[in-house]
């Protein structure tokens, strides 16, 4: 169980986002965040929730809450 709050600039830089993606939060969400959360949830058994933290009207940071899913689904 844990959480991480990271500025959108630091997150984009650490994920090697393109300049165009860095200017557009929707692109970061669609191309980086959602696929990564989906992969970690299905393959590694993490339960991850995330939300944007706004600074005024703009997204200034991301908050991730995560914990291990002890009840992994069995493959049929």
Q: What are the structural domains, with CATH classification, of the chain?
A: 2-68 (1.10.10.10)
Please report where in the chains the tokens 């940071």 appear, as a residue.
61
| The length of the chain, given as a count of residues | 76
pLDDT of 74 reads: 58
Contact 21, 27 (CB under 8 A): yes
CA atoms within 13 A on the CB side of 31: 13
Over residues 8-61, the pLDDT tens digits come to 999 999 999 999 988 899 999 999 999 999 999 988 888 999 999 999 999 999
3-state DSSP helix/strand/coil percent for the chain, to nearest 5?
Answer: 40, 35, 20
């Amino acid at each position: 169980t844990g959480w991480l709050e990271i500025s959108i600039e630091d997150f984009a830089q650490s994920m090697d986002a393109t300049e165009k993606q860095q200017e557009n939060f929707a692109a970061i969400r669609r191309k980086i965040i959602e696929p990564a959360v989906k992969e970690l949830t299905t393959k590694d058994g993490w339960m991850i929730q995330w939300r944007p933290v706004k600074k005024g009207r703009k997204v200034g940071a991301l908050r991730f809450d995560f914990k291990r899913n002890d009840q992994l689904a069995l493959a049929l």
